[in-house]
Amino acid sequence: MTPLKQYPPRPDKVYFYGTCLIDLFYPGAGLDGIRLLEREGIEVVFPDDQTCCGQPAYTSGYHDEARAVAAAQLDLFPEPWPVIVPSGSCGGMMRTHYPQLFAGTEREAQARELAGRIFELTEFLVHVCHVKLTDRGEPQRVAMHTSCSARREMGVADTGPALLGQLERVELVEQARAAECCGFGGTFAVRHPEVSAAMVDDKTRAIEEAGAEHFVTSDCGCLMNIDGHLEQQQRPVRGEHIASYLWRRTS
């Protein structure tokens, strides 16, 4: 696997940016992500005042409002430590769009500096921690869904599967059209509910048809959308954030 950027040596400390969906719906995934980092001997600092990254407003065209929300995050990570984000979506906003959002303002340099320290969780575990996992779970067929932002903005489509590939008793199956969106897309699911519903139905069918007994993803928005649809349809396959899956099978 060829990294898309230059990666630093393993640091002693990192910041952890929890994201709104982890804070409100999946706190266990955030805690498991922190546990995975701490197990690698890294001290994790969680700034208490962190809030939304500003992506919902930004992708809806409200750039002034997004800038106001994002500006509140810029001062939360003053030390030159990596900022670990358990979401390609929020990570993509902070790494890719913060420099654009603050271009031409007095905070452009600060936004660019922070963007250079943003790492998606699985990316950091693979390319910086060089983590080695020991599987303690039962045999299972698992499908991995990588979010559009993780795949296209963060460039980390391979890191989740690479981690799952270390688990000896996990058979990683690939669903048809694995790179397609699940239909969540942040506010897209709200603005275009019928299209979103058709997309997630296609995604869940593909996961089941691949023979998966379980699915994992590194983004809670995708997890909420896909797992919620599976539950609504009373289907047997269920989902989990990859941080929780890795921690559960290796601890």
The pLDDT, as a whole number, for residue 4 is 56
Class of CATH domain 140-250 = alpha beta
Tell me how far apart the alpha carbons of residues 166 and 170 are, in angstroms, rounded to a whole number.
8
Q: Supply the mean pLDDT for the chain.
A: 95
Q: Assess whether pLDDT exceeds 80 at residue 2.
A: no
Please give the helix or strand (H or E) that residue 133 lies within, else none: none
What's the mean pLDDT in 154-176?
97
68, 82, 161 from 107: Cα distances, Å? 12, 19, 36
Q: What is the pLDDT of residues 195-251, one digit of tens each?
A: 999 999 999 999 999 999 999 999 999 999 999 999 999 999 999 999 999 999 999
Per-residue DSSP letters for 171-212? Answer: EEE--TTTTS--S-TTTHHHH-HHHHHHHHHHHHHHHHHTT-
Q: What is the pLDDT of residues 17-37, one digit of tens each?
A: 999 999 999 999 999 999 999
Q: Assess whether pLDDT exceeds 60 at residue 193.
A: yes
What three-state secondary structure class fits 106? Answer: coil
CATH of domain 13-127: 3.40.50
The stretches of 75-219 forming alpha helices (DSSP H) are: 88-92, 98-101, 108-115, 121-127, 148-152, 159-164, 188-191, 193-209
**Where does the chain hold its CATH 3.40.50.1860 domain(s)?**
140-250
The pLDDT, as a whole number, for residue 6 is 83
pTM of the model: 0.95
At residue 189 the predicted structure's pLDDT band, cuts being 50, 70 and 90, is: confident
What's the mean pLDDT in 134-143?
98
Q: Assess whether pLDDT exceeds 70 at residue 3.
A: no
Task: Report which of 39, 43, 55 is spatially closest to residue 16, judged by C-alpha positions.
Answer: 43
